[in-house]
Amino acid sequence: MSRPGHRASVLLVDDDEAVRETVGAYLSRAGFAVSTAADGAQGLLAVQTQRPDVVVTDVLMPVMDGRELVRRLRERGDWVPVILLTQVGEAAERSAALDEGADDYLNKPFDPQELASRIRALARRTAATRGAPADVLVAGPRASGAVRLERIGRRVFLGEREVALTPKAFALLEYLLGYPEELHSRERLLERVWGFEIAVSTRAVDPRVAELGRVLEDDPAEPTLLKTVPGGGYRVVAEVRRG
Amino acid sequence: MAEGSNTMHDDASGTARGRAAGAGRPGRSWGAHVAAVLGCAGVAAGVWLWLSRPGAWVGVELATGPAVAGLGVVLVLLATVGRTAILRRRAALARERAAALAAATLAAEEEARAARRRFLRRLDHELKNPVTALKALAAQGAEGLGGYRAWATAGIQAQRMARLVGDLRGLAELEVSQLDLEPVRVDEVVTEALDDLAEAGHEALLPQRDVRVYLPVAPWPLPEVNGDPDLLRLVFHNVIGNALKYTAPGERVEITGVEDAQRVIVEVADTGRGIPEEEAELVFEELARARNVADLPGSGVGLALVKVIVQRHGGEVSLRSREGRGTSVRISLPARGGERAEPAPRTTGDAR
């Protein structure tokens, strides 16, 4: 939680000493109170004793891996925000990582500034918004109908009526509704939703956004769901509740 | 073939193995069987004729019985000999086929090992320079030398290696990732790729090349294919990008689309520097770059990506080239069949 004057505390769990040293030092200079652990078991202990604001953990580690760490935390009701440092590839894996209770993930190798900015975003979350990933996200109320997204069955409803979206448009909507206050650039969406590390042009994003606007009846002149910010990207303007 | 869990590996050896197993069993040799049956019948008839002599019919000779029986015996002997010969020949053929299959499998395995060795050599090559630079920088730094510029260089080397990791990871994922299929108009995808190239950093290249695009409108446009439009756009982005990159100002790039027997075929041809003959097949391998392009930047994954994507769409990619003359890359994709339909959004319920 970021109260003025409070340094957010980060627990960095990674079995690679070079990563702990260099990334730890970077985060320290970036203004966080940093502690480290060398494997999942030590990490679990550290969360209990130190109560960090955010946990950043690698996945492949001896003794206990990062996924198991997250599972154990969630099982005992600890919803401390967790970022997985991992090679999470396609959409299915990303969804699985989030379903298991991680809040965010970052592929290695990463820019340390990116990690710092993600930690800050998570640290801003209050206790009220922490918790299990919502199975249902509702955006509304809106004039043309509230948008209801059911993650388990992968269904979308506009008001009472179910609507059909292509798989990519669904993934895009799911991602956008998950981070409602933020401005998402096309590049960021390409990286997070499409998941390629190859150069696919941002042209891929606009048609899916257009599809969402069309199917979910969002007036481009006065959008009540998704707003295009000129030169910046997209932002969800509806109020999003977790169901 | 364009579905989720398809792998790239050739299963030709598997099916060939199945066929070889079947060939080992003896087949039908109906000629020998008929002869054997007739022979036995003959023997039986002869014996009966001879035994029934006391009530013999008028005109039936005493010798007929044994004659017929003898004929029957001869037929049976011939049948036996013939069948044995046939069976021996089949067994020999089966052995030959099995040997050929084993040799082919061995050759394929050896080729796979050789391809892997080539890849590791190229990976070695890509890593050794940034690592050498970093070691040199670290040695400087240990003596307190270097400063800002040294750190900037270190950052660049790190970025180089990060790009490499990202490229290889992207390639690996593409081999097994789920494809979101929809009807795609290849002519639109090609045009979009050209527009992207015109915008993003190739501004200098495009106007300076003589680019001709021939996509049919008459008698009707190219049929749609089933595919992922973003991935197909990437394919043409890479292939056309290469044509632009490896030609000099003023040289020609021709992009031609045709429909042929339920397939959509796009050729991207250029009058650029070409590829040395012995490297033409190898350029599709990961990190591979022909030896005559060391002066230009390139990751070496562009064509590898093209190959993976095209094959996952059930298509084929090939190239022909003459060093100093030009290159043509040919991409063939199965057409969707039927009239052009409006792309219908599908429910995502069973997307996985």
Domain boundaries, chain A: 9-130, 136-242
pLDDT band at A142 (very low <50, low <70, confident <90, very high): confident
Q: How far apart are CA B258 and CA B99, in angstroms?
A: 42
Pairing mode of beta strands A226-229, A240-242 = unpaired
How many Å separate Cα B280 from the centre of its chain? 15
DSSP annotation of A194 reads I
Q: How far apart are CA B179 and CA B312, in angstroms?
A: 9
Span of B43-52, B206-215, B222-231, B250-259 with lowest mean pLDDT: B43-52
Give chain B positions within 8 Å (CB) of A194: 230
Q: Quick one: pLDDT at residue B2?
A: 40
pLDDT at position B254 over 60: yes
Q: Most confidently modeled of B42-46, B48-52, B325-329, B338-342?
A: B325-329
| Burial letters A7-34, b for 16+ CB under 10 A, else e | ebbbbbbbbeeebbeebbeebeebebeb
pLDDT at position B104 over 70: yes
- The whole-angstrom distance between B263's CA and the closest CA on chain A is 25
Q: How far apart are CA B277 and CA B290, in angstroms?
A: 10
Q: Quick one: pLDDT at residue A115?
A: 94
pLDDT band at A182 (very low <50, low <70, confident <90, very high): confident
Q: Quick one: pLDDT at residue B202?
A: 57
Q: Amino acid identity, residue A195?
A: G
Q: Do B165 and A198 touch (CB under 8 A)?
A: no
HSE, CB side, 13 Å, CA atoms: give it for residue B179.
Answer: 27
- The whole-angstrom distance between B346's CA and the closest CA on chain A is 5
Pair of tokens at residue B57: 């019919």
pLDDT band at B4 (very low <50, low <70, confident <90, very high): very low
Pair of tokens at residue A214: 């069309």
Q: Quick one: pLDDT at residue A92?
A: 62
Q: Do A155 and B351 touch (CB under 8 A)?
A: no
Give chain A positions within 8 Å (CB) of B164: none
pLDDT tens string B170-228: 888 888 877 888 999 999 999 999 988 887 665 567 778 899 999 999 999 999 999 99
Give chain B positions within 8 Å (CB) of A206: none
| Region class of B338: left (phi > 0), else alpha (psi between -120 and 50), else beta | left
Span of A104-113, B26-35, B215-224, B240-249 with lowest mean pLDDT: B26-35
Q: Do A195 and B167 touch (CB under 8 A)?
A: no
pLDDT tens string A204-239: 888 899 999 999 999 888 888 999 998 889 999 888
User: Could you tell me the sign of the dihedral formed by the alpha carbons of A85, A91, A93, A94, in that order?
Assistant: positive
Q: Give the start-end residues of each E strand in chain B.
A: 182-184, 210-214, 225-227, 252-260, 263-270, 316-322, 326-334
| Unique residue bearing structure tokens 């990751």 | B299
CB A26 within 8 A of CB A148: no
Pairing mode of beta strands A104-106, A33-37 = unpaired
Q: Amino acid identity, residue A221?
A: A
Q: Quick one: pLDDT at residue B6?
A: 37
Q: Quick one: pLDDT at residue B348?
A: 43
Q: What are phi and psi of B63, to 5 degrees?
A: -80, -10
* Mean pLDDT for the stretch of residues A98-109: 83
Of A91, A170, A204, which has the smallest distance from its Cβ to B230's Cβ? A204
With CA atoms as reference, report the closest residue to A14 among A6, A1, A24. A24
Q: Do B351 and A170 touch (CB under 8 A)?
A: yes
- The whole-angstrom distance between B87's CA and the closest CA on chain A is 55
Q: Do A89 and B177 touch (CB under 8 A)?
A: yes
pLDDT tens string B50-93: 777 655 555 556 667 778 788 888 888 988 998 999 999 999 99
**Cα end-to-end span (Å), chain B:** 16
pLDDT at position B119 over 60: yes
* B148-176 helix and B64-142 helix, angle to the nearest 10 degrees: 160
Looking at the complex, does the CB of residue B239 fall below 8 Å from at least one CB of chain A? no
pLDDT at position B347 over 50: no
pLDDT band at A168 (very low <50, low <70, confident <90, very high): confident
Q: Quick one: pLDDT at residue B251?
A: 94
Q: Quick one: pLDDT at residue B61?
A: 61
Q: Quick one: pLDDT at residue A126?
A: 64
Q: Quick one: pLDDT at residue A94?
A: 66
- The whole-angstrom distance between B183's CA and the closest CA on chain A is 12
Q: Quick one: pLDDT at residue B16?
A: 44
pLDDT band at B127 (very low <50, low <70, confident <90, very high): very high
Mean model confidence pLDDT for chain B: 83
Q: Do A89 and B169 touch (CB under 8 A)?
A: yes
Q: How far apart are CA A156 and CA A139, in angstroms?
A: 11
Q: Do B349 and A153 touch (CB under 8 A)?
A: yes
The answer to whether the predicted template modeling score (pTM) of the entire model surpasses 0.90 is no
Span of A42-51, B100-109, B157-166 with lowest mean pLDDT: B157-166
CB B186 within 8 A of CB B266: yes
Residue B332 β-bridge partners: B265, B316
Q: Do B347 and A165 touch (CB under 8 A)?
A: yes
* Mean pLDDT for the stretch of residues A83-90: 74
CB B257 within 8 A of CB B250: no
DSSP annotation of A204 reads G
Q: Quick one: pLDDT at residue A198?
A: 56
* Mean pLDDT for the stretch of residues B108-114: 93
pLDDT at position A56 over 50: yes
Q: How far apart are CA B82 and CA B85, in angstroms?
A: 5
Closest residue on chain B to A164 (Cα): B347
Give chain B positions within 8 Å (CB) of A199: 234, 237
CB A73 within 8 A of CB A29: no
Q: How far is CA B127 from CA A215, B132, B134, B165, B172, in A?
A: 48, 9, 11, 10, 18
Q: How far apart are CA A204 and CA B203, in angstroms?
A: 21
Q: Which residues lie below 8 Å from residue B66, measured CB to CB, with a gap of 6+?
A: B46, B50
Give chain A positions within 8 Å (CB) of B349: 153-155
Q: Do B169 and A87 touch (CB under 8 A)?
A: yes
Looking at the complex, does the CB of residue B151 fall below 8 Å from at least one CB of chain A? no
Looking at the complex, does the CB of residue B352 fall below 8 Å from at least one CB of chain A? yes
Q: Give the start-end residues of each E strand in chain A.
A: 9-13, 33-37, 54-58, 82-85, 104-106, 136-139, 147-150, 155-158, 161-163, 183-184, 226-229, 233-236, 240-242
- The whole-angstrom distance between A229's CA and the closest CA on chain B is 21
Q: Quick one: pLDDT at residue B141?
A: 85
CB A84 within 8 A of CB A57: yes
> Could you tell me which residue, A85 or B17, shows the higher pLDDT?
A85
Give chain A positions within 8 Å (CB) of B309: none
Question: Is the backbone peptide bond immediately before A109 cis, with ω within 30 degrees of 0?
Answer: yes
Q: Which residues lie below 8 Å from residue A111, measured CB to CB, with a gap of 6+?
A: none
pLDDT band at B23 (very low <50, low <70, confident <90, very high): very low
Residue B200 buriedness (CB in 10 A; 0-12 / 13-18 / 19+) = middle
Q: Quick one: pLDDT at residue A162?
A: 93
Q: Quick one: pLDDT at residue B7?
A: 38
Report the length, in residues, of chain B.
352
ipTM above 0.85, yes or no: no
Q: Quick one: pLDDT at residue B62?
A: 62
pLDDT above 90 as % of chain A: 41
Q: How far apart are CA B168 and CA B301, in angstroms?
A: 8
Q: What is the largest CA-CA distance in chain B?
A: 129
Torsion of the alpha carbons at B91, B95, B101 and B105, rounded to the nearest 10? 140
Pair of tokens at residue B274: 């070409």
Q: How far is CA B192 from CA A215, A220, B157, in A?
A: 24, 24, 33
Pair of tokens at residue A40: 């999942």
pLDDT at position B27 over 70: no
Mean model confidence pLDDT for chain A: 86
Closest residue on chain B to A89 (Cα): B173
What residues of chain A have any CB closer than 8 angstroms to a CB in chain B? 87, 89-92, 107, 109, 153-156, 162, 164-170, 194-201, 203-204, 211, 215
Pair of tokens at residue A155: 């269904």
**Cα end-to-end span (Å), chain A:** 23
Topology given in CATH for the domain delimited by A9-130: Rossmann fold (3.40.50)
* Mean pLDDT for the stretch of residues B128-138: 90
**Angle CA A141–A143–A147, to nearest 5:** 50
Domain A136-242 of CATH type 1.10.10.10: yes
